[in-house]
């Protein structure tokens, strides 16, 4: 039996309210249940890595914008005040 078939049968047993049969089915096919759990864990890890990458990308864009903005300001007091504001936000 494939993992996909295991998922389908488990879903049907749950949807029909056959909780005892679902538990017995899961215990009978414990190896597939463990594989499914491993697949879910891998997917969660992949999503976590992807989320970290997207967050870092957004932070990099904000940093890039900040640097460009600071470079357009005239030297002097204005630049120092704006830099202090940015520093307070971090």
DSSP state letters, the chain: --HHHHHHHHHHHHHTT-HHHHHHHHHHTHHHHHHHHHHHHHHHHHHHHHHHHHHHHHHHHHHHHHHHHHHHSPTTHHHHHHHHHHHHH-
Q: What does the pLDDT profile of the chain (90 residues) look like in tens digits? A: 888 999 999 999 999 999 999 999 999 999 998 999 999 999 999 999 999 988 888 888 888 888 888 888 888 888 888 888 888 887
Whether the model pTM is above 0.85: no
């Amino acid at each position: 039996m494939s993992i996909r078939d295991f998922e389908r049968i488990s879903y049907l047993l749950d949807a029909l309210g056959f909780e005892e049969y679902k538990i017995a089915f899961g215990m009978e096919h414990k190896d597939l249940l463990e594989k499914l759990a491993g697949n879910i864990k891998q997917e969660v890890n992949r999503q976590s890595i992807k989320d970290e990458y997207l967050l870092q990308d957004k932070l990099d864009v904000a940093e890039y914008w900040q640097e460009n903005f600071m470079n357009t300001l005239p030297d002097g007091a204005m630049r120092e005040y704006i830099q202090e504001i940015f520093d307070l936000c971090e």
